[in-house]
Amino acid sequence: MHLFCTCVLSFSLLTASPLVSATVSNSFRDCSQFFYMQTPPAGITGTSLRRICQKYADKLRYATLYDSSRRLPLFSAYIFKKSDGKRRMDTPWMYEPQLLSDDESRNMRALPLTEDSPPLIEDSQAVLEDYTDAVEYRRGPLNPDLHQAEPDDKSSTYTLTNVVPLITDFFMQATCLGYSAPLTQHLSSRQSYLIIFNRLFCST
């Protein structure tokens, strides 16, 4: 299968004072709390789009708009939480069972430790094999673990429904990495709602 290389990640940042069961469906009703004023972006349409309320360890963590035909997320929406700067290196990569069937678990699950992922998973979402031996692109999380504080919130970002293939050279350039420190410093001073969009510019 083909993946689309992502050259640029764009984001929408909204800040505000704090506002006083997960599903894959046609709405974000169950996880609207991750959007500013509980309002998801409008005008994004498509028959293969799935709205995922990402759930890990029986708790909702963030929201993702997922294109099941391209097997890529269009955006992830989450609330920034000041991080200790540590990454969860022991967390396995996971998948979203509900993209396989509505009868599946609401919690994301670890991908099987085999060379080939089951066809049902590969047909509905990205798998580890899509990134095996990849040189031109790498896994780029839309909701990175460094934007989360609690261990379980960090772990929940390690699902391939939250990842886009990001061109390696672009990712490593200072122009790409240079925004991270000032952005994090700015976000740490207030409650911030972020929507990180996947912008597709080239295909492989």
Which residue carries 């049902």 as its tokens?
120
Retrieve residue 123's tokens.
Answer: 């047909």
pLDDT for position 117 = 72
pLDDT in tens, 146-191: 889 999 999 999 999 999 988 776 655 544 555 566 666 666 656 7
pLDDT for position 186 = 65
Residue 56's SS3 state is strand
DSSP at 170? H
Report domain 4-203's class: alpha beta
CA distance 68 to 125: 6
What are the extents of the domains in the chain?
4-203
pTM: 0.79
Alpha-carbon distances, residue 186 vs 14, 47, 86, 118, 167 (angstroms): 12, 37, 19, 42, 26
pLDDT for position 153 = 95
Q: Which stretches of the chain drop beneath a pLDDT of 70?
A: 1-25, 114-116, 169-190, 199-204
Retrieve residue 5's tokens.
Answer: 């290389």
Beta bridge partners of 65: 51, 75
